[in-house]
Structure 1
């Protein structure tokens, strides 16, 4: 765990090391790309994360996309940390090994700024069947570069909301407000402790990682009135708002949260909620599909409410796994054809027909939420999910102007390193190894190093 500040490279060198700072430490191992040194002929090389919906895409491609277009797709499928590393290497060097890769709304604006991605507007304009306006506005905005041009298309999207055992609230005589505040959620969590043997009131991520504990915590900071940096790039992690939000979060999870909270991330909270060990859970909207799946012990018992707030009208984050086309791609036209198919309406219909509508990569298109088949299968959560995504404000998530976009992250290359180091301090506070005040004092020092590089820009 870092406690001392360190010297950062001169401002002029930041662009040159962007690829290295985008993702913390590079993973060792052999290059595992498919298709040789870049795609050849009509083939398209795709590097993607190994989540279940991507694996289903891989299964459907040959029998549908390739059959219809004649374009072969070579997939390289890796776990999230590994895939981010490989993408960073290939795209930063413009090696052209892969034509298409899965990128999030964190990376795409940064990659676009560095000239690593193909602009997609010309393809969208010539492909009216894709129906870009059907893509939910927050998703379109989050995949747009500084120049106002599109550089990504979403495969699926999510926000965050509160999931709770409505049967237990009813039994205990409690009512979940239509738009709960965090203070109200804390009070309900205290009353739900022990509602069933061994049950805790709430599950909140405490696992270190910029995409683990820092994702929900940053949304709490935003709505409590805090920000990582003010509009002049002054670090603000020692502000009263950060102190209040972080102390609330840490106290809540320590007093009414899951056992082993400092090592609990999304997967652990999903297991705890499914197994009846926690009564509430604040996390990604995508979790609802698992909670409502046919074999879930809590199917039909869950209620869903907007992300809790304090000073803002909404607080949910915004995230998407999206497709980006490498600027050095040797087959950009065929790459777009794949992207158009994989993110299009027809693909969602195909998944619904082949695997069931609960498996559809939703959260990106308005038409999905108007589809009667999807609405029926996802009735418990689909409307709340859509509302959460549409209310997300990636350019204005708090009470003050920000110097960079992002709700649960700060859209700069250095954030992966900064967010990870700060998360380690917060997790240590959750584990009881240090106070919140000590954690934020160290975190402020880390953030001030970034301030020094960005002030005056």
Structure 2
């Protein structure tokens, strides 16, 4: 009996000692569905790495961006792993704010990452963030409502077709909106959608000399078209709706169409969460016949700030969460249709995934068709499809997003919103030294 007690005591002492020596890393992430799912699966990581404990900070998209930007710029050291996007990576890498991810382990296979996605997360050929999921944007639509309206969705629709279909599919008495689009202010919310849309209308943020272009007719055409469409066929309170709000509306059967991130496809087609899972079709983002579609290119990725004191533990987590093995883990728990999309070529070559995900080909085609180096119809001095890859864009994009969201809410007119956007852009670009 005494020996048994001694052994138990030794075991307890070992557990206490282990707990004292376990390294804790803090991960800042966005409250999107794939990241929430990742947190539920981290027992797999801790089982393989019992000396590492995970602390999560999960935030809404705009708040996440604000917090991680402040922390990394001041080298605050709050986070050991950050969820950041394609916009931040090259800018922050150039500032030496991120650690290069050139050694994620022998089995990681960085060469399997889709080239368009890897290119946006690299600087001088080095990967500075590992993609957790990659995306473009496309049209998700209700096939039953399209049939009821007597229409057939083309694989590559025009904006004219989308607008006509949205108005015909709208049934206010049944609480069905013909279309749901982002209206919530933010450079990564409504501005992501509107910038990609504007590209297809021939608009651009700046000309070759960095002169703002909101006073040009292409931007007026874009914003007027968008606001008229949302007024006629969009939901009430659309100026407060971002990705998550529109996802909920679509899943509840309240949207005829939704043009947004390709990553949403697994959520709208999942019968556990979506009341219309068996009725969803997919098409490429619309165009206006000018050679550019209104689709973007993005990856939510995991990066390690240069200020961390726990780089090795952070690297192990990043490698786990963005590996082929993680995709297989999700598939084993939730099915192939629910694995994080858009990151690895091998996923799109997997017959099980192709069969389980009817949106797979359209997602890959959308990703591959976006060109960050030539995003617009006319020449521009910047890189980025739904954003402009300069440090000033984060603040300026949010300011313009607030102006456009207010116009959608009816608090200002289109002309006033564009004039204010032009003035804000001229002021910021002059202050930053881009123009005199």
Q: Distance in 2 between matches of 1:65 and 1:272?
A: 34
Shift in Å at residue 82 of structure 1? 4.0
Query: Residues 55 and 426 of structure 1: is their aligned pair in 2 closer, same or farther, counting only changes over 3 Å?
Result: closer
TM-score normalised over the length of structure 2: 0.88
Q: Distance in 2 between matches of 1:385 and 1:289?
A: 11
Shift in Å at residue 43 of structure 1? 5.0
Shift in Å at residue 405 of structure 1? 2.0
1:202 correspondence with 2:179: yes
Shifted more, 232-241 versus 183-192: the winner is: 183-192
Shift in Å at residue 454 of structure 1? 3.7
* Counterpart in the other structure of 2:30: 49
Describe the superposition over 1:13-62 as per-residue Cα deviations: whole angstroms up to 9, x where unpaired. xxxxxxxxxxxxxxxxxxxxxxxxxx98755443333434333333433x
Which of the residues 419, 429, 446 maps onto 2:397?
Answer: 419
Q: Following superposition, which runs of at least 4 residues in structure 1 exceed 6 angstroms of deviation?
A: none
Which of the residues 135, 144, 160 maps onto 2:113?
Answer: 135
Contact 2:22/2:50 (8 A) holds in 1 = no
1:68 correspondence with 2:48: yes
* Counterpart in the other structure of 2:167: 190
* Counterpart in the other structure of 1:13: none
1:393 correspondence with 2:371: yes
* Counterpart in the other structure of 1:78: 58
Contact 1:193/1:199 (8 A) holds in 2 = yes
Query: Residues 328 and 274 of structure 1: is their aligned pair in 2 closer, same or farther, counting only changes over 3 Å?
Result: closer
Shift in Å at residue 69 of structure 1? 4.2
1:181 correspondence with 2:158: yes
Contact 2:211/2:435 (8 A) holds in 1 = no
* Counterpart in the other structure of 1:372: 351
Q: Distance in 2 between matches of 1:335 and 1:235?
A: 40
TM-score normalised over the length of structure 1: 0.84
| Structure 1: gaps of 5 or more residues | 1-38
Contact 1:315/1:392 (8 A) holds in 2 = no
Q: Distance in 1 between matches of 2:38 and 2:177?
A: 37
* Counterpart in the other structure of 1:319: 298
Q: Distance in 2 between matches of 1:89 and 1:40?
A: 30
* Counterpart in the other structure of 1:101: 82
Q: Distance in 2 between matches of 1:203 and 1:314?
A: 18
1:263 correspondence with 2:259: no
* Counterpart in the other structure of 2:411: 433
Contact 1:48/1:75 (8 A) holds in 2 = no
Contact 2:387/2:393 (8 A) holds in 1 = yes
Query: Residues 49 and 194 of structure 1: is their aligned pair in 2 closer, same or farther, counting only changes over 3 Å?
Result: closer
Query: Residues 101 and 262 of structure 1: is their aligned pair in 2 closer, same or farther, counting only changes over 3 Å?
Result: closer
1:362 correspondence with 2:345: no
Describe the superposition over 1:194-226 as per-residue Cα deviations: whole angstroms up to 9, x where unpaired. 397343321122222222221211111111111
Which of the residues 239, 254, 262 maps onto 1:285?
Answer: 262
Shift in Å at residue 415 of structure 1? 1.8
3-state SS, counterpart of residue 278 of structure 2: coil
Describe the superposition over 1:412-441 as per-residue Cα deviations: whole angstroms up to 9, x where unpaired. 222222122212221222222322111101
Q: Distance in 1 between matches of 2:161 and 2:40?
A: 45
Q: Distance in 2 between matches of 1:356 and 1:120?
A: 29
C-alpha RMSD of the superposition? 2.4
